Structures are given as C-alpha cells and as structure tokens.
Amino acid sequence: MINRVYIFDTTLRDGEQSPGVSLSMEEKIEIGRALVDLGVDVIEAGFPVASPGDFQAVQTLARELRGVEIAALARANPKDIETAWEALKEAENPRIHTFIATSDIHLQYKLRKSREEVLQLAQEAVRWARKFTPNVEFSAEDATRSDREYLAEVVVAVAQAGARVINIPDTVGYTVPQEYYDLIVFLVERLRQAGFGEALDKGELRLSVHCHNDLGLAVANSVAALLAGARQVECTINGIGERAGNAAMEEIVMILRTRGDYFQKALGTALETGIDTRKIVPTSQLVSRLTGMFVQPNKAIVGANAFAHESGIHQHGVIAHRLTYEIMDRESVGWSGSAIVLGKHSGRHAVDYKLRSLGWKLSREALSRVFERFRTEIKDVLRRIPDEYLEGILYDEYLSENYRYRVISAQVSSLYGTSLSPIAQVEVEDRKTGKRVAVAVGVGSVDAAFKAVARALGYRFGEEGEGERLRLVDFHIDALGKGTEAEGVCGVILEDASGRRTAGLGRDGDIVAAGIKALLNALNRLEASREAGETLRERLAREAEAEGPRAEPQPMCR
Ligand SMILES: CC(=O)SCCNC(=O)CCNC(=O)[C@H](O)C(C)(C)COP(=O)(O)OP(=O)(O)OC[C@H]1O[C@@H](n2cnc3c(N)ncnc32)[C@H](O)[C@@H]1OP(=O)(O)O
Ligand SMILES: CC(C)C(=O)C(=O)O
Ligand SMILES: [Mg+2]
C-alpha cells in the first residue's frame, strides 16, 4: 500500500459547523490560502445547497485557490449534487463529496428508508456525481454504528459505482481505536475480495476516516485507522467541529512525524503527509482568531503551554538537554521564543538560564541573592513572570540605595455615576531635584494616578504633554488573598523611547496605591539601569569569572 496519507481539511465545512462559528467570505478565503500554504491535499470548502452564502463561498474558493483539491458536500440526491458541481466546476481539481447514513438508527428515525433503498441511493449518488467528475468521494455517515455486513455491502457498491474515496466516518465519536482498526481492516479485506486490491495498493481507491471527538478519541481513532490501511484522514485545524469537534490535524500530522519509527516498525514504512509543519502554529492562530474559538493552553502542539516548561526540575532537564522533556522541536511546528517560562514552580537553574539569556553572568553568591528574592517575593505573587522582573530584582538588590524617586503622598478620586473624570494629586521626591507636586485627570483612577506621577517626574504616557515619553507595555493587578480586604499586587512593565524595558511591582491594601508603588518601582529601576546597569553587569560578570567556569546551557535549549 502507498505510504502517503492525504490530508482532507474540513475546517471550513465541519469546522464551521461548530456552534457559534460563522465565517465571512473574506475569512474563508484567508483560511483557505493558509491551508494551501500549509500543504493540505483537499479543502472541503462547504455545503453549497445549504445557502446562497455557502454556495458563493465554495465557488469563490474553487476559483481562487490553486494547487489543492476543493471538495463540496452534497446529500445523496441530484439537486445537492448538481448544486455542489455548479459551485465547484471552476476549481483546478474539484471533488464532489456525497454522503448518506448507513446505521439503522439513522435509517429508521431520520431517513425513514430501508437498507435496500439507502444502498440504491448511495450507488445512484455516486453515479450522478460521476457524470460531472471522476473525483467522487462517498461517506457512509454513522458508519461506526452501522451493521458491519451492511456497511461492507454499501462500501463495495459505491466502489463499483466509481467512488474514488470512500469515507468511514465515526460521526458521533463512538468507536474506540481497536474496534475502528478492526473495522477498517475488515472493509479493506471486503474491497480486496471484490477485486479492488490493486486499486487500493496503488492509491487509486482510498479509504478515508473522519472522526469526531465526543469521547476524546478522534485522533487516536484516526491513527488506528491509518495503521489499518486508511490513507485519507479528514480533520480540522485545532480540532474544531460539530459538538466536541473533529480530529485535530496538527496532532495527527505530528504523531505521524514524531513516531515515524513506530509506523516503520508496524507497517514497514513511515507514513508521509504533505504538510509543512512550520506553518501549523500560525495557521492555528489564524483559525482561532477568525472563528473566535479559543485554543486551550494545554492543547497538544498548538496550545500556549504545549512547549512551555515552568517547573524547576523540568526546566533544569531541558536546559541541560532539550530531549529530556521535549519530544518535538517547538520550532518545527512554528513556535518561536523561549520555552522556559518563569513561574511559581521555577528553580535556580531556570533563573540562572534566564539571566544568562538577558546577558547577565552571575557568581553563585549573586545568583543565590537573586533567587532568594525571586523565591520569597515573586514566585507566589505573580502567575506568569515576565523576564523583566528578574532584572528588576538585580537592580533592587544592588542599586536600590541610589534609587531616585519616592512618593510622599497621593490623593486619587474614584467616581461612579457621574460624567466627571477622576483626578489624582501626587507629591513626589526626586533626589536630584527635590519635591514636586502634580495633578492629572484620567479615564480611571489608575490612569489619573499614573499620569500625575509621570508628570511630576518629567515623563508622560501617550502623545500629549511634556516630558520623556514612556509606554506601558503591561499592567496587571492580582489579589493576594480572598475577600474585600485582600492585598492588591500590581505589576507594570515600562518601555522608554530607546526600547529599554523595566518591570515594577507594588503591594498595598489599596489597589491604586499598589499601582503607584509598582510604577515608582519600575521608574526607579529604569533610572538605575540607565545610570549603572552596564557597570553592574560588568561587575557581576567579573565576579562570576573570578569564581571559575560553570556549565553553560546546551545550545539546543531555547
Ligand atoms: C454528519 C454531518 O455533518 S452532515 C452535514 C450537516 N451539515 C448541515 O446540516 C449544515 C447545512 N444544512 C442545511 O443548511 C440544511 O439542513 C439543508 C439545507 C441541507 C436541508 O435543509 P431542509 O431541507 O430544511 O431539511 P432539514 O435540514 O430540516 O432536514 C434534512 C433533510 O435531509 C434528509 N437527509 C439528511 N441526510 C441526507 C442524505 N445524506 N441524503 C439524502 N437526504 C438526506 C433528511 O432525511 C431530511 O429530509 P426531509 O426534509 O425529507 O425529512
Ligand atoms: C458528512 C460526514 C462526512 C460527516 O461530517 C460525519 O459523518 O461526521
Ligand atoms: Mg463530521
């Protein structure tokens, strides 16, 4: 049998059947182009008879996209099939995908037809479609709950009618991998007995799988079917689709790639797809943005945490050698940036690694000082810890004696039920220039307070006003503890005009006061890093060198 697995992407058809998803024509084209770039073999563009909008979308994609087959869905009746063809006919390589259910439950309650009638409709549908194109796919909807003998009869009948691809959907996500594997083996055998062995071996006739995720088995079932001899897999980006979704393409592709050794052993050959895996993450993010379907952080391959290491023991392992805790190269699926994420469970190795990647070399003693503050002041306070906070600790530890600014007092109004704006008045001390008072109006009380502090110290946020312009890159507030008396913890990251970034933290029972403290902390660190940051960096590096060499992280670790 051929070792090429054809990727049939149904993000735009079954994926769009996800409750709450409705893509505009422009969005479908944008996703369609991304799918072509990704290297899918077939794009199921829609169900043309469903609505004029669906018809137009299929027609537009058929006209616009090249280098890919375009499929359209049609029930087993002449009108659906003719409409599908009308929409498809300008495609470079059009495919009519016709279907009818084969399970007794569907026959009895939904179609109200006998097995004989459905068998005949299935065959006729393929013949109708063949009048337009030889590229016809037939799906036996709810195949996994169908009587096996009857299903085999339908499969052989549609092959005889000229279907090029026969799809065995697990429409309601009911099957389990071994059962599905056995079913595909059984159908392959029946097709061979009916004289289609050579066509299957050459890939001229293909069995396809289409799995839903109701029991969380869509990908496992798809892979089992590929092991059993299916060579087309129907799937969606991020696994979106009807109910619990379809099989996630990115997972199937990466299973085939990562476990090529296993397929080699089991089948005597690895299974190949045409997917350019480096485009997986950008495509996933595009689909998530346009469909509004959020990708859970722990989702395999494309979730934000899929390659992130936050706990100390794992971080240490990965820093020593990526393969200790990574089975795939994150860049091979399109991720960039660091895999080491600082957080509550991070350890000394990760802190050292992060500081090294920020250009700091520390002696053991200096690292211990930073790590101790990280452990006691930050780890339990912030959920995610941007790298800037580590540098902030260094400045606090070594330069805080020279910190320039101090807030003496602040008064901030907080309003409700009025069109008036909040006002902040602050009194600050600049060690170089003395005390200053400033007043500012803001959208909210934090905005007013930040603007007043900035004004008093010769900075500004935004276009207006005088002073050096700063950008607030990040601002967040967390509650430490529960209830209305919980302490507020505010974190800010500032960026100056040269791109230098510093972070600040502030804690207070009053969240506006916590914000003011965080801002002051960040401003003090900014000034200190400008004045003495490089000197400190050199001094610490000299101390580290004097201490002798330490193991450098492996270049493999990113
Ligand atoms: C498993 C799947 O994902 S199948 C695809 C599901 N996708 C969709 O349904 C999205 C698009 N659907 C639609 O817009 C509409 O359902 C339409 C336009 C297709 C049909 O709309 P309506 O004519 O109003 O029918 P409705 O949706 O209420 O019922 C479906 C009809 O199709 C029949 N039918 C269902 N599947 C098939 C089939 N594969 N072949 C032939 N007839 C079928 C049903 O028996 C029912 O017929 P009836 O009206 O004679 O009772
Ligand atoms: C139309 C078919 C292939 C389908 O989506 C299903 O059975 O789930
Ligand atoms: Mg489906």
Q: Is the CB of 75 under 6 A from ligand 1?
A: yes
- At 47-56, the pLDDT tens digits run 999 999 999 9
The answer to whether the CB of 340 falls within 8 A of the CB of 350 is: yes
Q: Which pLDDT value is given to residue 556?
A: 47
Q: Is the CB of 100 under 6 A from ligand 1?
A: yes
CA distances from 431 to 340, 406, 505 (A): 38, 8, 21
Q: Is the CB of 99 under 6 A from ligand 1?
A: yes
345 is in an annotated binding site: no
- How remote is the CA of residue 215 from the centroid of ligand 3, in Å? 14
Cα–Cα dist 70/93, whole Å: 6
pLDDT at 551 over 80: no
Q: Is the CB of 49 under 6 A from ligand 1?
A: yes
Q: Is the CB of 210 under 6 A from ligand 2?
A: yes
pLDDT at 23 over 50: yes
Q: What is the 3-state secondary structure (H, E, C) of 13-57?
A: CCHHHCCCCCCCHHHHHHHHHHHHHHCCCEEEEECHHHCHHHHHH
Give the residue, by CA position, lying nearest to ligand 2 atom 2. 141
Cα–Cα dist 4/18, whole Å: 29
- How remote is the CA of residue 212 from the centroid of ligand 2, in Å? 9
DSSP state of 475: E
Q: What is the mean pLDDT of the chain?
A: 95
- How remote is the CA of residue 50 from the centroid of ligand 1, in Å? 8
Atom of ligand 2 nearest to the CA of 143: 7
Q: Phi and psi dihedrals of 534, rounded to 5? A: -70, -40
Q: Which pLDDT value is given to residue 240?
A: 98
Q: Which pLDDT value is given to residue 554?
A: 52
246 is in an annotated binding site: yes
524 is in an annotated binding site: no
With H, G, I as helix, E, B as strand and everything else as coil, classify residue 450: helix
pLDDT at 464 over 90: no
Report helix angle 218-228 to 177-191, nearest 10.
30
The answer to whether the CB of 27 falls within 8 A of the CB of 33 is: no
Q: Give the sheet arrangement for strand 405-412, strand by strand.
A: 405-412, 423-430, 434-441
Cα–Cα dist 351/471, whole Å: 26
- How remote is the CA of residue 117 from the centroid of ligand 2, in Å? 20
Most ligand 1 atoms within 8 A of CB, residue of 11, 75, 98, 126 to mutate: 75
Atom of ligand 1 nearest to the CA of 141: 1
What is the average pLDDT across 125-140? 98
- Residues near 200 by Cβ (< 8 Å), separated by ≥ 6? 1, 188, 191, 192, 206, 207, 229
Burial degree of 99 (CB within 10 A; 0-12, 13-18, 19+)? buried
Q: Which pLDDT value is given to residue 214?
A: 98
What is the average pLDDT across 351-368? 94
| Complex ipTM over 0.90 | yes
Atom of ligand 1 nearest to the CA of 80: 19
Burial degree of 534 (CB within 10 A; 0-12, 13-18, 19+)? exposed
Strand locations in 36-181 (E):
42-46, 69-75, 94-101, 136-141, 165-170
- How remote is the CA of residue 239 from the centroid of ligand 3, in Å? 11
Q: Is the CB of 110 under 6 A from ligand 1?
A: yes
Cα Rg for the chain, rounded, in angstroms?
Answer: 31
- How remote is the CA of residue 102 from the centroid of ligand 1, in Å? 15
Cα–Cα dist 433/122, whole Å: 87
- At 468-501, the pLDDT tens digits run 999 999 999 988 888 888 999 999 999 999 999 9
Closest ligand by atom to 44 CA? 2
What is the average pLDDT across 129-146? 98
- Residues near 257 by Cβ (< 8 Å), separated by ≥ 6? 273, 277
- How remote is the CA of residue 100 from the centroid of ligand 3, in Å? 12
pTM recorded for the entire structure:
0.89
Domains of the chain in sequence order: 6-291 (3.20.20.70), 312-387 (no CATH), 400-544 (3.30.160.270)
Cα–Cα dist 238/18, whole Å: 12
